[in-house]
Amino acid sequence: MNVHEYQAKQIFAEYGVPTPRGLVANTVEEAVENAKKLGGNLWVVKAQIHAGGRGLGGGVKLAKSIEEVEKLAGEILGMTLVTHQTGPEGKLVQKIYIEEGADIQDEFYLGIVLDRAKEMPVIMASTEGGMEIEKVAEETPEKIVKVAVDPTIGLQGFHGRELVFGLGITDKQEQRKFIDFASKLFKIYMDKDVELIEINPLIRTGSGDFLALDGKMGFDDSALYRHPDIEAMRDISEEDPDEREAGQYGLSYVSLDGEIGCMVNGAGLAMGTMDTINFVGGTPANFLDVGGKANAETVAKGFEIILRNPKVKSIFVNIFGGIVRCDRIANGILEATKKVDVKVPVVVRLDGTNAAEAAEILKNANIENVIPATDLLDGAKKAVAAAKGEL
């Protein structure tokens, strides 16, 4: 689960990680009020969406007067912001963050993620703040300082020294402040079951202080049960409604651009099915893993969600029954055809546990649109042919 910048900064503040002062607003009036409350003579109006690259997309603007705050708030609230992370369709801005303008001397990058090879968190820091870190990693990897931290000892002095020397921070006061910043951030990472923290940019001000100017955080979904404070930050308007609804039924769904709807058990086979459709010249419309507890209701829900996508021209149901029993899936297909108007051809391949019973169920039901397939390749080919109207 991801949160907004303003929420990440609330967590930072809780742990004493320095950030500029700021207040979130849902309306232009609130924005103006917030700017007045903050005082000063320089504000930043920042679109709050779950995507980076807002600055370049026109979602982060400086204001030098209250009137300008008002004008910019009016422009940014309600705009559809397109960044390199939103996709071409962009994201609707429903909240903005009014923040005091900071005195930027240098921009750094600081992030913490799991290093999957080392199996421990790694702190990544760079002097190339403000740039996309992937770009830095590709073009000038030597400019990224990586320090893996064994959580059983936590962030020690030497880790901190590796960071500041690696970044070329030479002033002793500044070194102390930076290390303090990094250790607080590491504590957040561990305490809150964070999957990713990224501060880009982390700035050094004219007076030698370090401030988090941006804040991006993602959390381990499997650990949210023990963080009700984080769960409360969920903004469902940022989530894909189909993916969300699928999740409530134990389905894992991701929509794609193609024409062939997929319903599969198991994430690996679901990806393998998409790849096979591609291999035989078709395009998958979605990833859908019905999971290990699939039943008639969840299968029907799966059909409903797949069919909401107007691009879908055929559906490939590919089940290799293990714990999932094929007869249950077959009944699910029957159920679905009663509940949902399945107007496209459905190619069905059911193998493994109770496959024979399942075949019998489908045969007896004799549903018009259902085309049986013998194996994965046969199914993929038939689904592609059916999408072209050749079956």
Ligand X SMILES: Nc1ncnc2c1ncn2[C@@H]1O[C@H](COP(=O)(O)OP(=O)(O)O)[C@@H](O)[C@H]1O
Integer Cα distance of 205 and 171 in angstroms: 14
Integer Cα distance of 203 and 209 in angstroms: 8
The pattern of x and - marking residues 299 through 338 that bind another protein according to CB under 8 A reads ---------------------xxxx---------------
The pair of structure tokens assigned to 380 is 């993929």
Q: How far is the CB of 205 from Mg ion (least distance, A)?
A: 17
Q: Tell me if residue 198 is catalytic.
A: yes
Contact 288, 251 (CB under 8 A): yes
Integer Cα distance of 361 and 331 in angstroms: 7
33 vs 245, which CB is nearer to another protein?
245
Integer Cα distance of 122 and 145 in angstroms: 10
**Interaction between residue 90 and another protein (CB under 8 A):** no
Contact 95, 4 (CB under 8 A): yes
The pair of structure tokens assigned to 155 is 């962030």
Integer Cα distance of 267 and 253 in angstroms: 10
Contact 319, 326 (CB under 8 A): yes
83 vs 255, which CB is nearer to ligand X?
83
**Interaction between residue 214 and Mg ion (CB under 5 A):** yes
Q: With contacts defined by CB under 8 A, name the span among 94-102, 169-177, 363-371, 374-382 that binds another protein.
A: 374-382
The pattern of x and - marking residues 21 through 60 that bind ligand X according to CB under 6 A reads -----------------------x-x-----xxxx----x
Sign of the C-alpha dihedral, residues 46, 15, 127, 138? negative
**Interaction between residue 48 and Mg ion (CB under 5 A):** no
207 vs 222, which CB is nearer to another protein?
222
Strand order of the sheet with strand 60-63?
Answer: 22-25, 96-100, 43-47, 60-63
DSSP string, 14-41: HTT-----EEEESSHHHHHHHHHHH-SS
Q: How far is the CB of 238 from ligand X (least distance, A)?
A: 14
Q: Amino acid identity, residue 59?
A: G
**Interaction between residue 114 and another protein (CB under 8 A):** yes
22 vs 52, which CB is nearer to another protein?
52
Partner whose binding site includes residue 60, from Mg ion, ligand X, another protein, none (CB under 5 to 8 Å by kind): ligand X
Instruction: Out of 30, 193, 209, 297, point to the residue binding another protein (CB under 8 A).
Output: 193
Instruction: Out of 34, 86, 200, 273, point to the residue binding Mg ion (CB under 5 A).
Output: 200
23 vs 254, which CB is nearer to another protein?
254
54 vs 313, which CB is nearer to ligand X?
54
**Interaction between residue 260 and another protein (CB under 8 A):** no
Contact 294, 332 (CB under 8 A): yes
To 5 degrees, how large is the angle CA 338–CA 342–CA 345? Answer: 130
- Of these residues, 6, 97, 109, 189, which one is catalytic? 109
Q: How far is the CB of 91 from ligand X (least distance, A)?
A: 11
**Interaction between residue 190 and another protein (CB under 8 A):** yes
Integer Cα distance of 132 and 190 in angstroms: 25
Catalytically active residues are 109, 198
Judged by the rule CB under 5 A, the positions of this chain that interact with Mg ion are 200, 214
For binding to ligand X (CB under 6 A), which residues are involved? Answer: 20, 44, 46, 52-55, 60, 99, 101-102, 104, 130, 200-201, 213-214
